[in-house]
Chain A
């Protein structure tokens, strides 16, 4: 029974996508919207229903003889966390979409791909066979592409191009890794890797690097993050919400599997993850401060939070004995980030829905009179910043504890820096969030004085409210979820539960310090350095980072273009190589034929006469009549001389001329026969020897 439900969870969105598409065909959009909401709701309910069964044991489904290697699905607690949050968020986002997309074109296409993306994302999380995982991963990339470019304007297409390009490239690198992995371990089942990989030597670092690049692109790891700040703002808000909230998690999920199963908490690899995570954290939050488009700020913020999770995953391997806190932290943050980031994107979407503008210079003061929207946004902001009482605080505390534990274990300058980076990023987070919040919801702007109030629809605001409630609920009662996570931690070979204290004096103090730092950065940097007065005396934010060194424009694109040009040139040459060779050979042959057999008796005469023709007419002559006559005469003389030269040329015929004439008259068939004969002759010679 549970197996059937598991298959249903995977297939329902995919079938629903097709049915929804057909339903929406003949402008029965209401039914389609309702149908889609029901579908996602049903999937969510089914997943929730499975909770009890999964707590008691994993559910596995294996279907052989399909997709080359068979389909092997598995649902354990670790996967359940991901699946559950996916379905939850998707359900709410679908409700939200029905409101958001009302004025959009191609709604039918959007829903079809939205549902397909859901199905494939669930597939990624359910796969036990790593090739199945890859399959769903690729399907997800393709279907989400249609979401990214939904607007079909130039910006969306540019973003889509880099998105799909990196997705495919990453996918292929991932595939290369999987090939190697399969070849050396002989298995595709993820849970069998820990045993098999243990015997492998240095090669496992090559494999893990390949896999890390593949998953890292989706998880927006530096320096593979360039698609993200472009793709997320380009997509419609509900799509950005799931891109940021969930699709990044597929990359994270892959990296967790890579670190926890395939590499089995390898120290070196974990260290790389830790450093990568810290870089992501810092760079993401730092760059977010500069952005002016709300969605882009949120995209960079997602990048930064992917870094938090990666730090947790990295610490999992480093804290060999005491890794529990790191796993809890990472998984908890996966959940929390999905919640608050989706909430914020929904908020941004509501603003965009009304104003069609996202730059905070344009929309400042918009939310001053919209209490509900303000509250929702505030919840999101405080959750991201990690304010006590909100869910972000819980997971950040856990992660910070893990980092402190590592610092305690391996006292070194490295971990001190890590802690500084951690605090700094959190402070940056608060700064960029304050930037949005103050500008949009607190500052005054005459243009917006509450006239759009009726535009905020219930269908859009209710999902956001639900998420806000969940965020606060988790913040207040963190142990309920922690209890849920216990089963998931067991998947990584840790048993027993965690003694965690969240609301302690130390934690609160540390958070307070971070918050203070954040406010200082906001006041001292964001508001002063990044804000200038324009000609009208208005305060506008500027983004000096636009002109900075940029990986995409200064490294990837030039490198790609030059490499492409170079290789293309080379292959163009080869492409025409055969024809060129033949032409060149025939050219040489002709040149060879021009070597005259006769002595150059006539040659000199010919040359002399030719030189005569070539010479220009005599100097300027005044009389027009005379000029005409001379011209006529010269034409006559010229043609006569040419004839003579031609005659002489005819006379110098030689053997080569005959050959040349034959060559000219030879047609395709004769040429073929001739080449045939030549090669036969060669064959004969070979045979004789």
Chain B
């Protein structure tokens, strides 16, 4: 029974999503209560489930070694599921207000709840096959959110998103087949499953890793497979915020961590030298993201490219294959999620209250929305990695990891990118606060509370994570200690 509990966070949202589609709600309050129950309830469920000892695991359906739907909870999964379900709550409040401007809210919230279940599925997958299934489901379940506006542009972006995703999925499948041919096993285990084999064909393994990295890398916006991400910014802001800063891209990252450390293992990968080639792509990801962000006028696009670059940091932390780097990578996974979701919320809030989308339009907006833009400044500084914010904490470990590999080059790239980050974020802050003519009677136009409260709370989280990172770091250290 205890193990069956595991299924609730995964499948309950799916049921909620269907119910939400079927029930006719009397009023907005009922509707919102329903959504709230679904999402907050899920977080509580997750937390409740994690109390059980030992952590649950369950074979739901098993045909053979390959086709085996297996759920298993471990620390890595806990990290990801907690991160996602917490941020889901913030986004829920945000979108309840934000979506009043948009049509088709029913479809939106249905899929919004559904996606939570899918993400939980990814987090709790016990083997690669299960993860692959949920991974594909994620693509399909997010597609309606991307094309939400149903404009020409949105449909085109949706198409692009699908093509890229399926292209990646194909690679993953190929990798899985290759891998299976060597190992006959696809389940995750700390330190990897390959180390336990007696002999193996290194070439095939290398090919499998490479192919899978690219496959998952598509969702993690690895250059040159990143182009879907900026296009997908046509989606409503909550979607961009949650899916394209946190859930979708981070599930790509999460999958790469699973493959690298739970299938292959750091030692094997280090021995194969496979990560060296990938380093090049990662470096390009970091630099290209921040450089392209400089050229974007549209705020959301700017943030999208920034996401690409920041994901590069996390990927770098993963492929450097040492402790400090992985700590930095995992910590940055959390930090970037929190920071970027805040930034997106604020951009959404600006659009919601004033209808402005690009930088030159927001001159002096800091005077109208001081609290919002103050939060933006704090989040920006954090993303640049100026101490004492959380962005700095993660970059500190990443850089130490880079130096430990005896490659100052990585650190230089990190810092260069940080400089560019300042270059594309600070002008927004400066434009908002210090430009534009003074008006005699400043009318405060802060967004409604349902939008403002998530923003302020998340900013608080950013500051706290920066000042007192040690609680989270302790947990990350224990994860890293197990897998390296």
Contacts and interface: CB of A to CB of B under 8 A. Distances in A.
Contacts, number: 134
Interface in B398-451: 399-400, 403-404, 408, 411-412, 415-416, 418-419, 422-423, 426, 430, 434-435, 438
Contacts of B159: 668
Interface residues of B, number: 59
Interface stretch (B27-35, B106-114, B336-344, B386-394): B386-394
Contacts of A577: 224
Nearest to A582: B163
A679 B404 contact: no
A176 B171 CA distance: 38
B467 interface: yes
Interface stretch (B63-71, B239-247, B250-258, B283-291): B283-291
B292 A675 contact: no
Contacts of B473: 68
B371 interface: no
B174 A66 contact: no
Contact of A676 (B170, B223, B381): B170
A176 to B, nearest CB: 5
Interface in B296-327: none
Nearest to B308: A575
A142 B378 CA distance: 11
B170 A679 contact: yes
Contact of B415 (A160, A176, A571): A176
A139 B181 CA distance: 55
A613 B327 CA distance: 71
B475 interface: no
Contacts of B192: none
Contacts of B210: none
B162 interface: yes
A675 B418 contact: no
Given A68-B388, A168-B422, A572-B295, 13 more contacts: A149-B430, A173-B415, A175-B399, A176-B411, A179-B400, A568-B294, A571-B288, A574-B284, A575-B223, A575-B292, A668-B163, A682-B174, A687-B177
Interface stretch (A130-138, A286-294, A354-362, A647-655): A130-138
A176 B292 contact: no
Contacts of B200: none
22 contacts: A65-B468, A66-B468, A67-B387, A139-B386, A157-B435, A168-B422, A172-B418, A176-B412, A183-B403, A183-B404, A571-B287, A572-B292, A572-B295, A575-B227, A671-B163, A672-B163, A672-B170, A675-B167, A676-B166, A676-B170, A679-B173, A686-B207
Given A179-B400, A578-B227, A686 B386 contact: no
Interface in A128-172: 131, 134-135, 138-139, 142, 149, 152, 157, 160, 164-165, 168-169, 171-172
Contacts of B416: 172
A574 B288 contact: yes
A621 interface: no
Main secondary structure of the interface of A (DSSP, over half): helix
B105 interface: no
A68 B227 contact: no
Given A131-B387, A168-B422, A152 B411 contact: no
Contacts of B288: 571, 574-575
Contacts of B468: 65-66
A686 to B, nearest CB: 7
A53 to B, nearest CB: 27
A672 B467 contact: no
B88 to A, nearest CB: 28
A675 B166 contact: yes
Contacts of A182: 400
A626 interface: no
Interface of A: 65-68, 105, 131, 134-135, 138-139, 142, 149, 152, 157, 160, 164-165, 168-169, 171-173, 175-176, 179-180, 182-183, 567-568, 571-572, 574-579, 668-669, 671-672, 675-676, 679-680, 682-683, 686-687
A579 B178 CA distance: 28
B244 to A, nearest CB: 17
Contacts of B223: 574-575
B212 interface: no
B354 interface: no
Given A172-B418, A576-B227, A687 B181 contact: yes
B292 A66 contact: no
B384 interface: yes
A667 to B, nearest CB: 9
Nearest to A151: B434
B225 interface: yes
B89 to A, nearest CB: 28
Given A164-B426, A574-B224, A574-B284, A105 B387 contact: no
Contact of A180 (B177, B392, B403): B403
B176 to A, nearest CB: 10
Given A179-B399, A179-B403, A676-B170, A67 B178 contact: no
A152 B434 contact: yes
B415 A149 contact: no
Interface string B171-199: 10110011001000000000000000000
Contacts of A687: 177-178, 181
Interface of B: 159, 162-163, 166-167, 169-171, 173-174, 177-178, 181, 204, 207, 223-227, 284, 287-288, 291-292, 294-295, 381, 384, 386-388, 392-393, 396, 399-400, 403-404, 408, 411-412, 415-416, 418-419, 422-423, 426, 430, 434-435, 438, 466-470, 473
A141 to B, nearest CB: 9
A169 B387 CA distance: 14
Contact of A567 (B167, B204, B291, B469): B291
B174 A683 contact: yes
Nearest to B404: A183
Nearest to A64: B470
B9 to A, nearest CB: 30
Contacts of B411: 176, 179
A240 B155 CA distance: 55
A568 B424 CA distance: 14
Contacts of A682: 174
Contacts of A672: 162-163, 166-167, 170
B32 to A, nearest CB: 34
List 4 tightest A-B contacts by C-beta distance, closest first: A672-B166, A135-B387, A172-B415, A183-B403
B438 A578 contact: no
Contact of A171 (B170, B224, B386, B466): B386
Nearest to B284: A574
A138 B430 CA distance: 17
Contact of A134 (B204, B387, B400, B408): B387
A230 B272 CA distance: 54
A575 B416 CA distance: 19
Contacts of A180: 403, 408
A66 B386 contact: no
Contacts of A131: 387, 396
A105 B438 contact: yes
Given A574-B284, A679-B170, A680-B173, A67 B467 contact: yes
B418 A683 contact: no
A175 B415 CA distance: 8
- Give the one of A68, A577, A680 with max B CB within 10 A: A68
B141 to A, nearest CB: 16
A672 B218 CA distance: 14
A568 B173 contact: no
Contacts of B166: 672, 675-676
Nearest to B394: A68
B400 A138 contact: no
Nearest to A686: B178
Contact of B224 (A173, A568, A578): A578
A67 B400 contact: no
A182 B167 CA distance: 43
Nearest to B395: A175
Contact of A68 (B295, B392, B404): B392
